[in-house]
Amino acid sequence: MPISAALIGGGASLLGGLFGGRSARRAAQIQADAQRDAARLAADEARFRPVGVTTRFGSSQFTTDPTTGRVTGAGYTLSPEMKAMQDRFLGLAGQGLTQAEQGQAQFAPLQGAAQGLFGLGQQYLAQSPEQAAQKYILGRQNLLAPSRERQLAGLRTNLFNTGREGLSVGATGLRPGGGEGLRAANPEMEAYYNAIAQEDAKLAAEGMQAGQQQVAFGAGLFGTGGNLLTQSYGGQRCI
């Protein structure tokens, strides 16, 4: 083959390869552009596009960016009827909060009274029933002491004036077992001291009852104080 023919054939092959490479690249670019456009279109179609809704309760509004079309804000406007109800509810809520804030001060007297009853109850329960009984008996005996002393003085004066001060009767002999019998005593003095002993025995019975009543009263004060606290807390919860 002549040299010129070989050169021409090689040049044609090279030129054909160049055109073929360009065509392949162009086809690949066209395909890539088509895929990108399809993806952009799909994304745009899938984008959230809010739709305003209007009901008897109000209407919704959405704000979008005019350039990108993206949602930048959303709101809701109540209907006049719902707005009026909302204002009334908020007003009532404000009143309720104010009343709740004042509730503790309003029920403070109940709490103070309850604490006072607790303190008083502790004072009553600080003594045992026996101690309370002893205190009662001692107090009653102190009240009776002046009259008892006057009675005894009058009795002795009467015995002296009648000459019977040294009179003693009622003595008994030894017991069968050898024990000592009753000694002789002045009948009127013996009656006086027997009356005193009976009166003291009655005071002892009354003292035990008074001691039990004091303990019950102290416990009752705690119960009453607890009820006042319960009413205070219950009243505040109801506000």
- For the residues 165-191, what does the mean pLDDT come to? 74
Higher pLDDT, 198 or 167: 198
C-beta separation of 121 from 221 below 8 A: yes
Please state the pTM of the whole predicted model: 0.44
Mean pLDDT of the region 173-184: 67
Using pLDDT thresholds of 50, 70 and 90, give the confidence band for residue 1. very low
What's the pLDDT band for 60 if we cut at 50, 70, 90?
confident
Q: Does the residue 13 lie in any domain? A: no
Could you read off the pLDDT of 118-141 as tens digits, one per residue?
Answer: 888 888 888 888 988 999 999 999
Domain region containing 200: 136-170+181-239
Number of domains in the chain: 1
Order across the sheet with 54-55: list the strands: 54-55, 58-64, 71-78
pLDDT at site 143: 93
Average pLDDT in the chain = 77
Residue 143 in domain: yes
Categorize the per-residue pLDDT at 52 as very low, low, confident or very high, splitting at 50, 70 and 90: low
> In a 10 Å sphere around its CB, with 0-12 CB exposed, 13-18 middle and 19+ buried, how is residue 232 labelled?
buried
Kindly state whether residue 46 falls inside one of the protein's structural domains: no
* Residue 154, in any domain of the structure: yes
Is the distance from CB of 222 to CB of 113 less than 8 angstroms? no
Measured CA to CA, the distance from residue 129 to residue 208 in angstroms comes to 7
Query: Quick one: pLDDT band at residue 162, thresholds 50, 70, 90?
Result: confident
Q: Does residue 234 lie within any of the structural domains?
A: yes
In a domain, 41, yes or no: no
- The rounded distance, in Å, linking the Cα atoms of 4 and 10 is 10
Q: How far apart are CA 121 and CA 123, in angstroms?
A: 5
Over residues 88-96, mean pLDDT: 75
Percent of the chain with pLDDT over 90: 12
Residues 77-87, mean pLDDT to the nearest whole number: 82
